[in-house]
Structure 1
């Protein structure tokens, strides 16, 4: 399926066609570069929490995630202990999955450790594809790439968790490492 024209007369990737949180995310954020450690850690964390769920579920809980994870400040999250994990397991405004919560803490600690090398942002950007994809319709779209597989492998080697190749591909799309919009989508080329 190619881009769809919404009731507002604008052509978008099909998943962002209807009014609401998904369209807002598509139009304002998806595929746009972010900067700074906390922005990268937020996206990495939310992509991990999304695994097995709909993205709209995560978007609807995003403000609560930001609150309970202290604006995705790596130092603050890295200091979480078992009591903090238990507190988050009782927090109804977020996804209460122990493995994902523990992965968020693990990833914050790994992010802090990565500062001694190049930092999370530079590290993730170093896996940008040399030949970015350009799709006409959703049937052509991939869910992994050689770059997302390499990023996943290297993040795991550096102590990160819940960073599989599909999750890392979604991260690369979300933060605009390449333009993920379909050809014909009004956002294509505007990142």
Structure 2
């Protein structure tokens, strides 16, 4: 599997495009619609996955779903408030397309066999997505630190419990966070004070 990494926007959010067998899975499409689209030539888009509902991770969703109208959108129900057009939640932004509510466990997206790991704490609906030896951690886990827990739906104690869940995963996993640099779970267990 090839992973394309785009870092753009005011918050320097990371968007990931997973490519395999002529299929593309987009994870956290932030402020990078044209850049995302430029990397999809020759691939069938089979899904858009949101690790959580904050606007810096969702800005391009409607544009992508307009461009690829048959593509399903996946997100945890816990972050519905952030994308509800009737609500104005800080760090949220309206999405005018429906989404498929995900649960913890296996999830097939096209040919991608993934595992959803429910990791609330940064927000109520935060998840990580494991594909093969890759862990897309959203804003739950960063290189050397973790996501903030003081925003709407955040909870520091819940986040600490979620991190305990991540500590039990395979140390060989490569971690693709929502911001900053790619890392590994082994590195984080050795160097991240929140995982000790």
- Normalised to the residue count of structure 1, the TM-score between the two structures is 0.29
* Structure with bigger gyration radius: 1
Identify the structure with bigger relative contact order (alpha carbons < 8 Å, sequence gap 6+): 1
Of Structure 1 and Structure 2, the greater helix share is in 1
